[in-house]
């Protein structure tokens, strides 16, 4: 019966669709010298597929299941139970039954599920499907149907729905192995599952079968092993063990009181097990989660899967310790980037950047090791993000850093050393005009280019982009605005007891392209609001082609013109815009519709200018009040600082806006090139280009073999949470807020925009789902400039990632929104709809009610 039953030793890594993740890994384990694996075989997915296709009722049930969403709990339970009953009642065909029973004897067996989406690098489905232990040979066939049925347990269905896995695409193989009856069993992690440190292995051990430990029935012994020695141990009180039952299956048995606090393994056995784990890890090339048994004096491995939660480590090419700081936490984009996006950002920035997990990191080892630069680095980064600063202090205290080179340069923060400028609006005007001229020149130069000429132009123009971005007159303007805000906050607190006074003084400053964008969308709403037919049309839109249909609606031509005008100015923006591969608003204008329609509902005509003027009046009133309370000599100095603040702080947003505009010019030309490659049969899809690095575009035919693997890797990276600080050992170093005197249960963060506000929390993960009303408090993971249009509606802001001078903080201050950023796990700890209070001056959030 070809491909219905395979010996584990015959299964290769290419057969995942046939044997499932668990069987693939077991097959690989059998090929590692010195690793014992219980003998066995796999009933493949072909057998499962035949059972499903021979039972029409299953197809109907799967159709109904595909229409459910993760929150449809009752329907998931009902359909899942019906699918399980149906699969458990399937009659195993005679030829399959003969192929299985012919491999069995009177021994006992472990019968284990092996789904095609299980135990793979992208998403570990470990524990989602059933395992049956100590199954007598004659009962194995019956347990095939039970394993098949476990594909549709409530937790397995929900897990796939949350992970976006198609129920019809997942098939179930079943592994049958000779049963091992161990005296001890447990789990070995070859990297610390909490800190991700690759040099630390963790062993959990208990008496009897390991399933008691996996399912949480016992408190295991826990060992931490590093550099060949046990560095920590906790001996659990093991009151029960899971043991084979006489008639098959398992049963819980009480452990004798005198054995409960005895270790399940000797120290030598722990170290021997870790050495075995390192061998397995080396074979698979990444940290492993290993299930083991100890029978007699021999370790047997019954499973090994990737640890999907550990963050990858940048490649270094040496054995030195390195310390990396996340770029995404500074840029407000912690999602993974595709290969083209990574390479473009690396080509744009002046500092070398390492890659890991689809994210970028800066190596700060030398600056941390050098006393001359260490304090400056920590102070500068910690001022913007206290969690980052605290993590770096932890690194210095306990990580053994290599000596700093004698000629290591001191770390200079962006703009460090630049002299503060006196207020000069003409300078800002001149810089912005320079950006506009440079962008126009880039558009003219790239027009009509393709192939090698296009790539040569982009490569050269990226150097021009860097020249314009880092213009010697640009950074002093930005730094002058930042220093003015800091000076005002420090001195007005000292002189008048005014906390964060610069927040109010910076409202409605001129030349802030990002805040102007949020207000400009209000103008679009003003055009649409008096045209009810347009409103009804937009409320029914389901795709991004709606602009072409608007002129057919009464008043639609004017509405289309308003939207197109907005997109001409801002359509190159989007969430995660530093990744050139992300879809822009011009490419997916439907992303803006919830915001536009929200503005139509929530604002009166003329809101743009009214809001801007209100902010300007508040800033002017604050200035008059402060100056009137100061001594004359202090007032004069304060007035100059306010002038610098209001003249220069809006400009800070423009360099990034220009870069994103230029990126979009490149992207449009590259997508046209991708279309030519698709037509020539080189690429299967135009967006396959996004999974190639820029330098690989010179020979895309050769590089296309990389695309499938990179797509798979990118999907796996989406499940990872990038750390602020990471070492080359893989250890994630976390920071903490060291604050006292806060209310019980307060969620601590960084105060970035003054004021206190109470309202309904709207936990929003994407702009497309941002159905906001006036008075709502926006709670999200991070905000980059693309979120600005949402700020005009909400009353406050809470983010998980952010710093004092990141875009969300700057715009929140300008709009007068109390804001707290860097609130870890805010989107999980705060439920959508809860009432919360945001303390934007003190830097914490209170949850007030359900």
Q: Going along 483-631, which residue ranges are E strands?
A: none
- 819-821/747-748 β-pairing: unpaired
719 Cβ neighbours under 8 A, 6+ residues apart:
122, 123, 308
- Residue 500: left if φ>0, alpha if ψ -120 to 50, beta else—which one? left
Distance CA 125, CA 461 (A): 46
Question: Of the listed 25, 167, 608, 807, which one is catalytic?
Answer: 807
Contact 273, 251 (CB under 8 A): no
Which tokens in the block code for residue 532?
């009810």
Distance CA 369, CA 320 (A): 12
Which tokens in the block code for residue 100?
């299985």
Helix (H, G, I), strand (E, B) or coil at 399: coil
- What number of other Cβ atoms are within 10 A of residue 708's Cβ? 12
Q: DSSP letters of 466-488? A: HHHHT-TTHHHHHHHHHHHHHHH
807 is known as an active-site residue: yes
Which tokens in the block code for residue 273?
């097990």
Helices vs strands, H then E, count in the chain: 31, 26
Distance CA 850, CA 830 (A): 10
CA dihedral 562, 563, 568, 572 (to 10 degrees): 160
Contact 389, 750 (CB under 8 A): no
Long-range pairs for 455-461 at CB < 8 Å and ≥24 separation? 455/694, 455/697, 455/698, 458/666, 458/669, 458/670, 458/694, 459/347, 459/694, 461/662, 461/666
- What number of other Cβ atoms are within 10 A of residue 42's Cβ? 29
Place of tokens 């149906």: 86
Contact 50, 18 (CB under 8 A): no
Q: Which helix (H) or strand (E) holds 809?
A: helix 807-815
- Residue 671, class by beta-carbon neighbours within 10 Å (0-12 exposed, 13-18 middle, 19+ buried)? middle
The residues annotated as belonging to the active site are 807
């Amino acid at each position: 019966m070809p491909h219905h039953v395979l010996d584990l030793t015959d299964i290769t890594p290419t057969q995942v669709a046939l044997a499932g993740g668990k069987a693939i890994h077991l097959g690989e384990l059998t090929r590692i010298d010195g690793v014992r694996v219980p003998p066995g075989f796999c009933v493949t997915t072909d057998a499962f597929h035949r059972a499903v296709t021979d039972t029409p009722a299953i197809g109907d049930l799967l159709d109904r299941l595909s229409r459910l969403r993760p929150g449809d709990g009752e329907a998931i339970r009902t359909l899942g139970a019906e699918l399980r009953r149906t699969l458990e009642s399937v009659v195993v065909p005679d030829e399959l039954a003969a192929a299985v029973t012919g491999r069995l004897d009177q021994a006992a067996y472990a019968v284990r599920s092996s789904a095609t989406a299980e135990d793979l690098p992208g998403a570990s489905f470990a524990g989602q499907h059933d395992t049956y232990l100590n199954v007598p040979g004659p009962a194995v066939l019956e347990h095939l149907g039970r394993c098949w049925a476990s594909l549709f347990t409530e937790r397995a269905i929900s897990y796939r729905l949350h992970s976006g896995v198609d129920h019809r695409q997942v098939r179930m193989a079943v592994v049958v192995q000779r049963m091992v009856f161990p005296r001890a069993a447990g789990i070995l992690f070859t990297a610390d599952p909490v800190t991700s440190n690759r040099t630390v292995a963790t062993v959990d051990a208990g008496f009897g079968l390991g399933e008691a430990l996996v399912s949480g029935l016992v408190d295991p012994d826990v060992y931490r092993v590093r550099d060949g020695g046990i560095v920590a141990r906790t001996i659990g009180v093991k009151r029960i063990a899971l043991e084979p039952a006489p008639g098959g299956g398992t049963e819980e048995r009480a452990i004798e009181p005198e054995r409960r606090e005895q270790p399940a393994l000797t120290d030598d056995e722990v170290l021997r097990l870790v050495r075995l784990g390192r061998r397995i890890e080396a074979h698979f090339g990444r940290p492993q989660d290993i299930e083991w048994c100890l029978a007699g004096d021999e370790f047997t491995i019954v499973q090994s899967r990737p640890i999907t939660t550990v963050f990858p480590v940048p490649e270094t090419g040496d054995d030195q310790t390195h310390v990396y700081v996340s770029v995404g936490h500074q840029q407000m984009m912690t999602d993974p980037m595709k290969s083209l996006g990574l390479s473009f950002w690396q080509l744009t920035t002046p500092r070398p950047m390492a890659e890991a997990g689809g994210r970028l990191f800066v190596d700060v080892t030398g600056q941390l090791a050098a006393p001359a630069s260490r304090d400056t680095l920590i102070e500068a980064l910690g001022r913007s993000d206290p969690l980052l600063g605290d993590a770096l202090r932890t690194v210095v205290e306990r990580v053994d850093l290599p000596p700093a080179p004698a000629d290591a340069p001191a770390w200079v923060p962006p703009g460090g050393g630049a002299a503060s400028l006196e207020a000069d609006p003409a300078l800002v005007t001149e810089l912005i005009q320079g950006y506009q001229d440079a962008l126009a020149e880039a558009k003219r130069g790239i027009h009509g280019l393709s192939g090698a000429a296009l790539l040569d132009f982009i490569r050269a123009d990226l150097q021009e982009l860097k020249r314009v971005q880092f213009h010697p007159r640009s950074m002093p303007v930005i730094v002058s605005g930042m220093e003015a805000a800091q000076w005002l906050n420090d001195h007005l607190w000292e002189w008048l007891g005014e906390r964060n006074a610069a927040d109010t003084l910076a409202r409605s400053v001129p030349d802030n392209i990002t805040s102007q964008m949020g207000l400009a969308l209000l103008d679009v709403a003003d055009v649409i609001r008096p045209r009810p037919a347009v409103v009804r049309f937009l409320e029914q839109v389901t795709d991004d082609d709606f602009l072409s249909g608007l002129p057919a609606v009464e008043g639609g031509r004017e509405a289309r013109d308003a939207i197109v005008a907005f997109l001409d100015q801002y359509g190159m923006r989007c969430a995660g815009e530093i990744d050139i591969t992300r879809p822009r608003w011009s490419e997916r204008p439907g992303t803006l519709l919830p915001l536009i329609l929200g503005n139509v509902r929530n604002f009166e005509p003329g809101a743009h200018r009214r809001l801007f003027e209100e902010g300007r009046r508040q800033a002017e009133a604050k200035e008059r009040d402060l100056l009137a309370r100061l001594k004359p000599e202090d007032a004069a100095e304060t007035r100059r600082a306010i002038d610098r603040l209001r003249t220069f702080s809006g400009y800070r947003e423009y360099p990034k806006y220009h870069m994103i505009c230029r990126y979009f010019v490149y992207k449009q030309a590259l997508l046209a090139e991708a279309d030519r490659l698709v037509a020539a049969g080189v690429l299967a899809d135009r967006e396959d280009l996004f999974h190639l690095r820029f330098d690989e575009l010179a020979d895309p035919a050769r590089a296309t073999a990389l695309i499938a693997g990179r797509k798979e890797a990118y999907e796996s990276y989406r499940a990872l949470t990038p750390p602020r600080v990471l070492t080359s050992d893989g250890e994630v170093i976390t920071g903490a807020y060291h604050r006292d005197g806060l209310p019980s249960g307060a969620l601590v963060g960084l105060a970035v925009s003054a004021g206190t506000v109470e309202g309904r929390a709207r936990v929003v993960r994407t702009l497309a789902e941002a159905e906001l009303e006036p008075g709502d408090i926006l709670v999200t993971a991070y905000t980059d400039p693309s979120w600005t249009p949402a700020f005009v509606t909400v009353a406050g802001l809470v983010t998980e990632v952010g710093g004092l001078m990141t875009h969300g903080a700057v715009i929140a201050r300008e709009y007068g929104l109390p804001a707290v950023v860097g609130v870890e796990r805010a989107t999980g700890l705060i439920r959508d709809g809860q009432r919360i209070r945001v303390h934007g001056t003190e830097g914490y959030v209170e949850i007030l009610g359900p």
